[in-house]
Structure 1
Amino acid sequence: MSQVQWSSRLGHVLAAAGSAIGLGAIWKFPYVTATNGGGAFLMVFLLFSFTLGVAVQVGETLLGSHSQRGVLGAFHRLVGPRWRWMGYMGILCGFFIYCFYSVVGGWTVGYAALAVGGQLKSGDAAALTALFNGYVSDPLWPIVTHLVFAGLTWWFVQGGLEKGVERALRWMMPALFVMMLILVITGLSMPGSMAGVRQFLLPDFSHLTSKGVLDALGLAFFSLSIGLGIHTTYGAYLPNNEGVLRSGVWVVVLASFISVLAGLMIFPVLASTGIDPTAGPGLTFMTMPAVFQHLPFGQGLAVIFFLLLLVAALSSSISILEHLVRFTCEEWGWSRRSACVVVTLLIMACGVPVSLSFGPWSGYTLFGKTIFELLDYLTSNLMMPLFGLVLTLLLGWRLGDKFVPADLSGTMRTLLLWCWRLVAPLLISGILLRGLI
């Protein structure tokens, strides 16, 4: 395939940050933080993000910038043909994730439409819970919104790297920030909101257990979209290796900043309305609409909130589709438009049974898990940590010192190298073992 490049380093940083800033940063991070000591969990999460997260994200990016290939070609060229299985695992992991992520992304489409239509005005949490359960178990509408979400992702990616992916994320990231800022300011202006801020930011180490530390480690790893080769794909569009570490730090800064904003967006309004933020991950769809009914311009804020979720979901799905499209174009010689169409149609088809696993097919299980749960478990607990573990060992012990960017100082080169060799493999092994137990 002809070599294309980012129009600027900013384009690469925004795209890489967009891949990391998904739904998990909005709905999962505040809930997990609340159950693990608030500020204590936040401190550990940020520590892991700026050590393990930066090291692995930079390593993945360097794999692409050195080889000028996507994940499969990068392993073939830099490590040898026997390691192509790593590339295949990264591609398969991305495909599995997109199959169920598109379904959840479709929920944001559906709920944005419900918010616009004023159908989320009920302040009754039980009624909203019934609405959500009825929506996801319906045999038709979740599939329709899944198809719409996959179609939206296709629209942005088929336009090309610069005029499609980069242009989309140049407006998505600022739009995401503005919408979050509106909700943060609104929440902080409510009476009693400071109690939520204290709960979020003040550390309570008595509630931070060893499980909480592992949760912070896993969340830092997965929230940056590392472990499936997306950053290798994006690194392949860089002209050289200069500034890769600096770009990686900025990606982690932006992703972490959005997670912190999500906490400041959720905790104050819940504290003001007396709702427990540890209520669970259903908080996003089942509790927040009720919260907005207590606020001035509640319907408008609900629309902003679910549009925010949609933008966050799209920023991640765009990166996964680009990852898969680069593979098909590079390995099979397809045109970009053909690859986009075929991959999207496959995702649309495979997402149907995933959606049905919440309703008519919920009784069909394998190893005690529904289709959705099985795909989530395989990717999050096995494939992504295994990819990250093998990658960092190869970076540290096979590719070695020559692989580290030449523009780094001696101290930074040594730190990065030994993080690949020892620190990252040990930490990722903890994630992998926790997923297996």
Structure 2
Amino acid sequence: MDESLSIVRSTTIEGSPGAARGQWSSKLGFVLAAAGSAVGLGNIWKFPYITGTNGGGLFVLVYLLCVGLVGIPILAAEVLVGRAGQRSAVGTFRGLSRPRSPWVALGGLSVLIPTLILSYYSVVAGWCLDYVVAAATGGIGGAGVEGLPGLFDGLYASAERNLLWHAVFMAITAAIVIGGVQGGVERASRFLMPALFVMLLALLVQSAMLPGFVEGARFVFAPDPSKLTAAGVLEALGHAFFTLSVGMGAMLTYGSYLSDGESIPGAAISIGVLDTLVALGACLVIFPLTFSFGMEPAAGPGLVFKILPVAFAQMPFGGLWATVFFVLLFFAALTSAISLLEVPTSYAIDEWGLSRRTATLGACALILALGIPSALSGGEGFFGAGLAAATGRNWFDWFDHAATNWMLPVSGLGLSTFVAWRLSEELRQPAFAAGTRFGKQARIYRVWLLLLRYLAPVGIVAVFLQGIGVI
């Protein structure tokens, strides 16, 4: 442990548990787990379809700039807070401010957000499992293409299938988290992330053989200013912020298991690069498929579940490639879900003194119950068509709207403000520098702090105002 940081922490944080807390076995374990948290459905499902609806090329370039200038600095800040606090979100903000400080509420919000998000995220992950089964059993591939777009409509409306897959996915996630930091989360990440990259690479090789590969690659990387609007710029900024899992307590919790000998800026850059590579790789798989088979790249949220099965069905060995793709999508969902469940689990362990098994099962049961209305949102009942007719959104959409457009921006703004303005320089600078081997460490620190103090808050506020419809 870096001695200067240890001394500063011991005089700043009362009751820090220090070495008694679980830790990653290595920097690689942390990076794989944190990259797994960042790499999720947002990379393989959402990023390709928002790229398609915003015209490709220039949108991707703006997104990359936003990741580097806003996303990674906030990610580093969240990991820094977690490592400095050495506790779950509530205990960290209590220890780094004071017991009755308003900042403790930010820690509470950081526990609430992943709990709510996972309740409906697991329903979407259940769709991935359903499509894995469909692809592996011949439902996608050699079959006729006419009825394939309707597969998703039937799944979305089926309460029984949604509830079943919601429960199965949460059981898998809980089984991993029960294993602990090294034995569960890290071990799973060391398998899931390399497997994810191998599957993505295999799909990329297959995609490169399609007649539409060049056109798809040009769509992704060739800037066309006429296709990008101001709203598209804000969407790129918003996705750059949310894709790295910042603002939801996951990176804070993972950071609390990180030793002082590891470099926070180096880890943040590694995570950002891996996350971006997966997002771009997904685009280079999906868009050549759409162009090769005469489909619309601006198909929106239905691109993966409605359009791609039609393309796979027209390919040689389409069932095999569809199975690989949806297993890839499931793995991405699982790595993110593990980090989301770890947040309330860590909170219950630290704040209530529960065993990891009890804390995990309790958090899982709560999330299962909260997810039932989301699983029923595609039907004609109250949570679905009834609520949509009365309010304009079903339960699933309301939860997603509240978490994405209200809670996450507030949490992200609070986090960046706390680190940039509330955290003392005596703790912040050593915490940032610990384990760093950059030759120009002081300059990197000053640039990071400037971005965190001025650019990041402006970007988050802009995303928030767009999300609630003000701009």
TM-score, structure 2 length as denominator? Answer: 0.90
- Where does residue 363 of structure 1 map in the other structure? 385
- Secondary structure, counterpart of 2:159 in structure 1: coil
Match of 2:6 in 1: none
Q: Which runs of 5+ in 1 are unaligned?
A: none
Contact kept? 2:52, 2:300, Cα under 8 Å: no
Task: Report how far residue 79 of structure 1 moved.
Answer: 2.0
Percent sequence identity over matched residues?
A: 41
Q: Which residue of 1 aligns with 2:453?
A: 421
Question: What SS is found at the alignment partner of 1:226?
Answer: coil
| Deviation readout 1:320-360 (Å, 9 max, x if unpaired) | 01111001100100000011111111222221111111114
Deviations 1:20-69, CA, capped at 9 Å, x for gaps? 11011001111111222312111110111011111110100011101101
Letter in 2 for 1:21: V
Q: 2: distance between equivalents of 1:320 and 1:121? A: 33
Q: Please, which of 399, 405, 414 is the counterpart of residue 390 of structure 1? A: 414
**Residue 315 (structure 2) pairs with residue 283 (structure 1):** no
Per-residue CA deviations over 1:281-302 (Å, capped at 9, x if unaligned) read 1111111111112222111111
SS of aligned partner of 1:187 = helix
Structure 2 counterpart of 1:199, which letter?
Answer: F
Match of 2:63 in 1: 45
Which sits farther off after the overlay, 373-382 or 387-396? 387-396
SS in 1 for 2:68: helix
Residue 99 of structure 1 corresponds to: 119
Q: Which runs of 4+ in 1 moved over 4 A?
A: 122-126
Deviation sequence 1:255-287 (CA, Å, 0-9, x none) = 000001001111112111111111121111111
Contact 1:123–1:289, Cα closer than 8 Å, also in 2: no
- Does the CA-based 8 Å contact 2:141-2:314 persist in structure 1? no
Q: CA separation of 1:401/1:419 partners in 2, compared to 1, >3 Å: closer, same or farther?
A: farther
Where in structure 2 are the equivalents of 1:167-182 lying within 5 Å? Answer: 167-182=187-202
Distance 1:394 1:192, change over 3 A: closer
Confirm or deny: 8 A CA contact 2:142 2:318 kept in the other structure. no
Mark the CA change 1:381 to 1:258 in structure 2 (over 3 Å): closer, same or farther: same
2:400 — aligned with what?
A: 376
2:239 equivalent in structure 1: 219
- Taking the aligned partners of 2:139 and 2:55, their CA distance within structure 1 comes to 35
1:79 pairs with 2:79: no
1:300 and 1:126 map into 2 onto residues whose CA distance is 19
1:33 maps onto 2:51 in alignment: yes
Counterparts of 1:289 and 1:95, CA distance in 2:
31
Q: What is residue 116 of structure 1 aligned with on the other side?
A: 136
Q: Distance in 2 between matches of 1:27 and 1:333?
A: 38
Residue 442 of structure 2 corresponds to residue 410 of structure 1: yes
Within 1, Cα distance between the matches of 2:344 and 2:59? 34
Q: Structure 2: give runs of 5+ residues left out of the alignment.
A: 1-16
Contact kept in structure 2, 1:122 and 1:128, CA below 8 Å: no
Equivalent residue for 1:310, pick from 310, 319, 330? 330
Deviation for aligned residue 1:241: 6.4
| Kept in 2: contact 1:153–1:318 (CA 8 A) | yes
**TM-score for both structures, normalised by structure 1:** 0.97
Q: 1 CA distance for matches of 2:380 and 2:232?
A: 35
The question of whether the paired residues in 2 share the 8 Å contact of 1:57 and 1:231 is answered with yes
Q: 1:5 aligns with which of 16, 23, 33?
A: 23
Distance between the aligned counterparts of 1:384 and 1:125, measured in 2? 39
Residue number in structure 2 paired with 1:19? 37
CA distance in 1, matches of 2:404, 2:146: 31
2:14 corresponds in structure 1 to none
Question: Which residue does 2:467 correspond to in 1?
Answer: 435
Which range moved further: 258-267 or 81-90?
Answer: 81-90
Pick which of 115-124 and 215-224 moved more. Answer: 115-124
Q: What residue number does 1:184 align with?
A: 204
Contact kept in structure 2, 1:105 and 1:149, CA below 8 Å = yes
Question: Deviation at 1:140?
Answer: 0.6
- Choose which of 64, 70, 73 in structure 2 pairs with 1:55: 73
- Who is 2:227 aligned against? 207
Correspondence 1:322 to 2:322 = no
- Of 141, 147, 157, which residue of structure 2 is paired with 1:127? 147
1:146 and 1:309 mapped to 2: Cα distance? 15
- Report what 1:67 is aligned to: 85
Which of residues 346, 352, 361 is equivalent to 1:332? 352
SS of 1:15's partner is helix
Question: Could you tell me how far apart the structure 1 residues matched to 2:447 and 2:425 are?
Answer: 11
- Structure 2: distance between partners of 1:276 and 1:36: 13
